[in-house]
Amino acid sequence: MHSSLNPQSPPPDPTLVSRRRFLGFGIGAIGALIASALGIPLVGYAISPALKKKKEDWAEAGSVAGFQPLQPKKIEYSAFRKDGWIEETVKKSAWVILRDGGDVTVYDPRCTHLGCAYRWDESRKSFLCPCHDGVFDINGKVVSGPPPRPLDRLQAKIESGKLFIMEG
Amino acid sequence: MLDRAYQWIDDRLGIDPIIRDVVDHPVPEHVNPAIHPRSIVYCFGGLTFFIFTLLITTGIFLTMYYVPTPDHAYDSVRYITDELTLGSIVRGIHHWSASGIVIMVVLHMLRVYAQGAYKAPREMNWMVGVGLLMVVMGFGFTGYLLPWDQKAYWATTVGTKMASQVPVVGHYLLLILRGGEDLGAVTLARFYSFHIWFLPGAAVTLLGLHFLMVRRQGISGPL
Ligand code: FES
């Protein structure tokens, strides 16, 4: 790269690439090839979890046989969860409301304010959160209190009397 | 551009003489395969080192997902191989390089032995080389257990059992290797620890000595 030039030799032609420089480039190119053959798999492997599509899955959450329309009910169900190489079933809960047309609404059981578990109050026909007095109506809308948004809905469907909730 | 960056650093640190000394020194004619094709045998040591760098790099990345406990080791290896993008390539490079380095070490050793290059004044470097051979064997032995599959488990059961044949202290050796009577969580954890900390530390130290001595003494002359 910085070859010491013999002072007697004529000044080098700047448009000419010296053999030394050419070979230097060659070695650099081969080195870069090897480095990327190794580097590309390594980077792909390291960022792989970010490239993965989230797997969505219906979890079976039991029968809705005894459910009254417009009568919110809290259910417990188990869902399959995959955490890297750890596969397990986790206990989950949700609030379920049957609608008149056979539709179903399912709410995440955590209050949208700071995540407390709320309950249904039949006399006031509202969901009440004990932590900071958040109140939601049966459609999940905030009636009063600090919650910033309506209750979170989970995608759900009923098939042959069984409730399915979307996971993930 | 690169030249200017180099110049900028050199102006401040004067690295030019160091760089020249490390990478810009002439290769002696008798070891240059471009002049004597049979001199390719002098590449074995360098190739061993090249594979070593592959192993270190892929090994560092493998620790990103691998977990050395009996309940996660097998599953995390399967996750690396089957579920991660290019994970099978990264693990594959580590796997094949592990065999490759043993082959290259043996070839390198045979060359040095056949040429008598271990003789005075290079005995010390031969001894360091033997130390490196032990380190490579240690890597192979400890790394073989880590996938925690049937082959790994039983190979290590047999391998550690061999140590118990040593007279008098045999059973203690077995207990030290396994960290208990049976192969289990303690065995896996200590094999992992050796594989990623103790042995790489030893390897890098010995390699440093190995290379320094080669530079100090030069490559032995033709037969
Ligand atoms: S957490 Fe429910 S109101 Fe604050």
* pLDDT value at residue B20: 86
Contacts of A45 in chain B (CB under 8 A): 61, 64, 80, 84-87, 89-90
CA torsion angle B26 B32 B35 B40 (round to 10): -170
Over residues A120-152, the pLDDT tens digits come to 999 999 999 999 999 999 999 999 999 999 999
If one looks up domain A59-166 in CATH, what number appears? 2.102.10.10
Phi, psi (degrees; rounded to nearest 5) at A38: -90, -45
Structural domains in chain B (count): 1
Q: Is A114 in the pocket of ligand 1 (CB under 6 A)?
A: yes
State which of A87-91, A103-107, A156-160, B51-55 shows the largest mean pLDDT: B51-55
Which atom from ligand 1 is nearest to the alpha carbon of A145? 3
Q: Residue B133's domain spans which residues?
A: 28-217
CA torsion angle B5 B6 B12 B14 (round to 10): 180
Q: Is residue B125 part of a domain?
A: yes
Select the residue of B54, B72, B79 nearest A38 (Cβ to Cβ).
B54
* pLDDT value at residue B23: 80
* pLDDT value at residue A1: 44
Quick one: DSSP state of residue B132? Answer: H
Averaged over A28-40, what is the pLDDT?
Answer: 96
Q: Count other Cβ atoms within 10 Å, centred on residue A97.
A: 20
Q: Is residue B223 part of a domain?
A: no
pLDDT score of A19 more than 50: yes
Verify whether the Cβ–Cβ distance B58 to A42 is below 8 Å.
yes
pLDDT score of A103 more than 80: yes
Which atom from ligand 1 is nearest to the alpha carbon of A116? 1
Q: Which of A116, A142, A144 to mutate to test the pocket of ligand 1 (most atoms within 8 A of CB)?
A: A116
Both structure tokens of B36: 């004597």
Could you give the ipTM of this predicted complex? 0.86
Quick one: DSSP state of residue B184? Answer: S
What residues does A147 pair with on adjacent strands?
Answer: none
Local confidence pLDDT in tens for the 223 residues of chain B: 888 999 999 999 999 998 888 887 788 899 999 899 999 999 999 999 999 999 999 999 999 999 999 999 999 999 999 999 999 999 999 999 999 999 999 999 999 999 999 999 999 999 999 999 999 999 999 999 999 999 999 999 999 999 999 999 999 999 999 999 999 999 999 999 999 999 999 999 999 999 999 999 988 887 6
β-pair type (A142-144, A153-154): unpaired
Find where tokens 């077995």 sit: B174
Q: Which of A119, A131, A136, A152 to mutate to test the pocket of ligand 1 (most atoms within 8 A of CB)?
A: A131
Closest CA to B67 of B150, B180, B157, B148: B148
Q: Is residue B40 part of a domain?
A: yes
Domain borders along chain A are 9-52, 59-166
Q: Is residue B107 part of a domain?
A: yes
The domain spanning residue B63 has which CATH number? 1.20.810.10
- The answer to whether B109 faces chain A, any CB pair under 8 Å, is no
